[in-house]
């Protein structure tokens, strides 16, 4: 049996998905072309940004070949039309009146999740946003007593937003992680090329388990994403383990190792894991392109990998969009995006913020990439990683469903999307796969930005750090979060003076003692990640050095106090930058929410202003903020920050 032909029932192309719905082939091609244009112009994110709090959802209508924008007023209709016209898609966009904003739907879903807590825990309910109907959809198991279903239906009818109640057999609410338990589909083995490629079979500790998903890049390191449950059902965030992960390699008798460094996020917010591709692995070529940005497509001819293209080749999720996923067992099933922000229960754990698709999946498909194919170029836009679904699988007839965790944030649902937890990593694409080209651009940035030179007698690749005292984040409005301790790690690019960093702050609370946690992390832990570089802080003749931290936007949850969003940079002068020492002391200073150090000098001796550190409380207006801390960074041997 050929790869991709595991089922005669499942749709195996985007056109097939639509023609099975009664859409003509010509209209199907028109609809897919529109989906491509929406992706190319980034129309979804532009609509979200332009409408702000008035955003009320977007969706495709394939039978019409139209893109709908939900609007709640004449003003929002005018804004939506203006954005569509500027994108050159005015004739293809329909502004559709709806009852509720996106935020109102999310708030209502949260209330229903609390109301249904017991049913959710018992796998007797699930919720999601049915965007085309501007509604929260509540699916109840037929095992729920009729009297309780009647009560909930009555409450839904009187709700302040549209709430739809549907009834399904118990089997349709059972979420089945699609990790293979045995190697029973050897004939469907998904063979690799000379390097690791998204969509191939993965072995974990010698057992055929899952499918390789999208890949990310950080400097010269490459990571393969897959599902967290492929390794363990132990819950937690940023869990690190060592286990040999392997894939098939042509013309050999057994799988070959990809790497053994695994990090997992397995909690209510995320179900994702990454495997670091080991340097020297048989799946990593020599630079400049050690791992190419490719994904195998098992049902297309010729069966050669296709490029994951573009500078930012991750695609937003749009309801009724036609997409596919690669599975080492099922091949390439396709379907239509259904509900978003889905919450469901599987055995002992609950998963939130998933996307539902009318595509089937088999055991072994978990972790594989969900994607949208650009029709004109066959380029791939990655959307997320498959995590499972209910029966039937691809070998049976029935109504199919599967779920994936999106790479990008669900609009206005803070901290969602896999990329938010991946410490500043970028999706591996054709735009960044060439590491030599990346370094040439970084050399130019180094020259123009006035980076200080870190000098030592041997190559430095990493550092560790600790704060002295208790670091504090303080806003101009008086909000303050204090942490008891922290530990940090950073990478240093070879012969460069910048790299990636992450800091784990522990024991974090407000002044009232309310515990604060970054989205998806352990209680009281705030994880900050991003990029850092050494810069010239003081002008000649007394040159001074500083560390410039450029963290990713951060979402912090502080219990009853609410949410805090933080963005912007932090500049921390180094005490003795010209001293040859292994450990260097730094100070990040501020007072009453005002950052003290906000400028450094570039290579032309011109002042450069950093991005101001800002904080927003419960989605309010951003106000100035400051990080107040002192600490040290330690290299493996003595270095000078300035040379």
336 within some domain: no
Task: Kindly tell me if the per-residue pLDDT of 429 is higher than 80.
Answer: yes
Q: 461 and 509 share a domain?
A: yes
Whole-number Å distance between alpha carbons of 227 and 368: 8
Mean pLDDT of 223-237: 89
Q: Is residue 589 part of a domain?
A: yes
Question: 609 and 525: one domain?
Answer: yes
The token pair that represents 502 in the structure block: 């992450």
Q: How many domains does the chain have?
A: 3
- Tell me how crowded residue 634 is: count the other CB atoms within 10 A of its CB: 14
Angle between helix 25-41 and 43-51 (nearest 10)? 60
355-371 confidence digits (pLDDT tens) = 999 999 888 899 999 99
Say whether both 586 and 477 belong to one domain. yes
> Is the backbone of residue 257 left (phi > 0), alpha (psi -120 to 50) or beta?
beta
Helix axes 74-86, 43-51, angle to 10 degrees: 150
Residue 567 belongs to a domain: yes
* Helix, strand or coil, per DSSP, at residue 52: helix
The residues, ordered by sequence, that sit 6+ positions from 418 with a Cβ below 8 Å of its Cβ are 225, 270, 272, 384, 385, 405, 406, 407
The reported pLDDT for the residue numbered 178 is 54
CA atoms within 13 A on the CB side of 120: 21
What was the pLDDT predicted at 34? 93
Task: Give me 360's structure tokens.
Answer: 């089937």
User: What is the rounded average pLDDT of the residues 188-203?
Assistant: 65
Residues 196 and 215: beta-carbon distance below 8 Å? yes
Domain range enclosing 226: 183-291
Q: Are residues 469 and 569 in the same domain?
A: yes
pLDDT at residue 219, rounded to an integer: 73
Question: Are residue 466 and residue 516 in the same domain, yes or no?
Answer: yes
Could you tell me if residue 626 is inside a domain?
yes
User: How much is the average pLDDT of 530-549?
Assistant: 74
Give the torsion through C-alpha atoms of 561, 565, 569, 570, to 10 deg.
Answer: 10
79 phi and psi angles, rounded to 5 deg: -65, -45
To which residue do tokens 């050929």 refer?
2
* More confident of the two residues 546 and 314: 546
CATH number for position 485: 2.40.160
Q: Indicate the burial class of 621 (C-beta count within 10 angstroms; 0-12, 13-18, 19 or more).
A: exposed
**Residue with token string 């209508």:** 61
Same domain, 595 and 451: yes
The pLDDT assigned to 619 comes to 80
The answer to whether residue 566 scores a pLDDT higher than 60 is yes
Integer Cα distance of 227 and 386 in angstroms: 7
Residue 192 has pLDDT above 90, yes or no: no
The answer to whether residues 222 and 157 belong to one domain is no
How many Å apart are CA 568 and CA 159, to the nearest integer? 39
Residue 71 lies in a domain: no
Nearest-Å Rg of the Cα atoms of the chain is: 25
Average pLDDT score over residue span 40-57: 91
Q: Residue 171: which CATH number?
A: 3.30.70
Residue 465 neighbours by CB distance under 10 Å? 19
Mean pLDDT of 385-397: 83
- The answer to the question of residue 252 being in a domain is yes
Altogether, the residues listed in the chain come to a count of 643
Q: How far apart are alpha carbons 130 and 338 in whole angstroms?
A: 7
Place of tokens 């509720």: 100
Mean pLDDT of 82-91: 95
Q: Are residues 501 and 555 in the same domain?
A: yes
Residue 188, pLDDT score: 40
Per-residue pLDDT tens for 579-632?
788 888 889 999 889 999 998 887 677 888 898 999 999 888 899 999 999 888
Q: Both 605 and 621 in a single domain?
A: yes
Instruction: Give the residue from 291, 311, 334 where a domain finishes.
Output: 291
Residue 279: CATH number of its domain: 2.40.10.10
Percent of the chain with pLDDT over 70: 83
- Rounded Cα–Cα distance for residues 48 and 46 (Å): 5
**Helix, strand, or coil (residue 440):** helix
105-151 pLDDT per residue, tens: 999 999 999 999 999 888 899 999 999 999 999 999 999 999 999 99
Q: With contact defined as beta carbons under 8 Å apart, do 526 and 508 qualify?
A: yes
CA atoms within 13 A on the CB side of 127: 22
Residues 485 and 610 in one domain: yes
- Regarding whether 127 and 248 lie in a shared domain, the answer is no
Residue 313, pLDDT above cutoff 80: no
Same domain, 112 and 232: no
Last residue of a domain, which of 152, 176, 200? 176
Q: Which of 248, 263, 291 is the last residue of a domain?
A: 291
Give CA–CA dist 476/281, Å, rounded.
Answer: 50
- The answer to the question of residue 379 being in a domain is no
**Mean pLDDT for all residues in the chain:** 82
**pLDDT value of residue 447:** 45
247 within a domain of the structure (yes/no) = yes
* Mean pLDDT within 553-578: 87
Sorting pLDDT into bands at 50, 70 and 90, what band is 183? very low
């Amino acid at each position: 049996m050929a790869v991709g032909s595991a089922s005669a029932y499942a749709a195996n192309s985007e056109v097939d998905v639509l023609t099975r719905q009664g859409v003509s082939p010509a209209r199907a091609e028109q609809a897919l072309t529109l989906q491509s244009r929406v992706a190319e112009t980034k129309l979804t994110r532009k609509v979200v940004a332009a409408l702000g709090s008035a955003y009320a959802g977007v969706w495709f209508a394939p039978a019409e070949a139209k893109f709908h924008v939900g609007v709640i007023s004449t003003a929002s209709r005018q804004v939506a039309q203006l954005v569509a016209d500027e994108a050159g898609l005015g004739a293809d966009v329909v502004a559709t009146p709806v009852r509720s904003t996106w935020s109102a739907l999310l708030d209502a879903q949260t209330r229903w999740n609390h109301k249904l807590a017991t049913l959710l825990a018992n796998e007797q309910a699930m919720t999601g946003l049915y965007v085309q109907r501007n509604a929260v959809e509540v699916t109840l198991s037929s095992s729920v007593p009729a009297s309780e279903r009647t009560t909930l239906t009555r409450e839904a009818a009187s709700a302040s937003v549209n709430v739809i109640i549907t009834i399904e057999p118990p089997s349709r609410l059972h979420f089945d992680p699609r990790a293979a338990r045995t190697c029973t589909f050897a004939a469907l083995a998904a063979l690799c090329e000379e390097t690791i490629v998204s969509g191939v079979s993965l072995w974990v500790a010698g057992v055929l388990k899952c499918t390789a998903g999208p890949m990310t890049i950080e400097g010269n390191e490459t990571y393969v994403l897959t599902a967290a449950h492929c390794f363990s059902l132990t819950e937690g965030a940023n869990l690190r383990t060592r286990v040999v992960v392997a894939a098939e390699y042509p013309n050999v008798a057994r799988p070959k190792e990809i790497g053994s460094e695994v990090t997992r996020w397995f909690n209510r917010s995320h179900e994702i894991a990454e495997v670091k591709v080991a340097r020297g692995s048989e799946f990593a070529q020599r630079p400049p392109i050690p791992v190419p940005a490719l994904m195998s497509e098992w049902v297309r001819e010729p069966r050669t990998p296709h490029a994951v293209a573009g500078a930012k080749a991750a695609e937003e999720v749009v309801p009724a969009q036609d997409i596919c996923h690669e599975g080492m067992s099922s091949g390439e099933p396709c379907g239509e995006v259904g509900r978003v922000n889905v919450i469901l229960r599987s055995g002992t754990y609950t998963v939130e913020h998933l996307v539902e698709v009318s595509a089937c999946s088999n055991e072994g498909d978990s972790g594989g990439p969900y994607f949208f194919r650009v029709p004109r170029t066959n380029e791939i836009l990655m959307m997320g990683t498959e995590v499972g679904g209910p029966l039937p699988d691809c070998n049976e007839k029935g109504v199919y469903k599967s779920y994936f965790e999106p790479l990008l944030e669900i609009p206005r649902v803070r901290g969602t999307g896999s990329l938010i937890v991946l410490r500043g990593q970028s999706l591996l694409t054709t735009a960044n796969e060439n590491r030599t080209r990346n370094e040439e651009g970084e050399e130019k940035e180094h020259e123009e930005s006035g980076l200080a030179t870190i000098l030592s007698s041997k190559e430095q690749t990493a550092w560790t750090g600790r704060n002295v005292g208790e670091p504090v984040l303080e806003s101009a409005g008086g909000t303050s979060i204090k942490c008891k301790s922290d530990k940090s790690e950073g990478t240093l690019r070879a012969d460069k003076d910048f790299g990636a960093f992450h800091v784990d702050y522990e024991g974090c609370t407000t002044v009232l003692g309310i515990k604060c946690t970054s989205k998806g992390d352990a209680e009281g832990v705030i994880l900050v990640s991003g990029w850092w570089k050494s810069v010239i802080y003081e002008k000649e003749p007394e040159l001074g050095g500083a560390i410039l931290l450029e963290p990713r936007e951060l979402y912090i949850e502080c219990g009853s106090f609410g949410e805090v969003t933080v963005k912007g940079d932090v500049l921390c002068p180094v005490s003795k930058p010209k001293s040859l020492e292994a450990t260097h002391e730094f100070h990040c200073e501020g007072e009453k929410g005002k950052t003290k150090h906000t400028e450094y000098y570039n290579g032309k001796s011109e002042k450069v202003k950093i991005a101001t550190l800002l904080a927003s409380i419960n989605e309010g207006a951003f106000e100035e903020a400051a990080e107040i801390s002192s600490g040290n960074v330690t290299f493996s041997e003595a270095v000078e920050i300035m040379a």
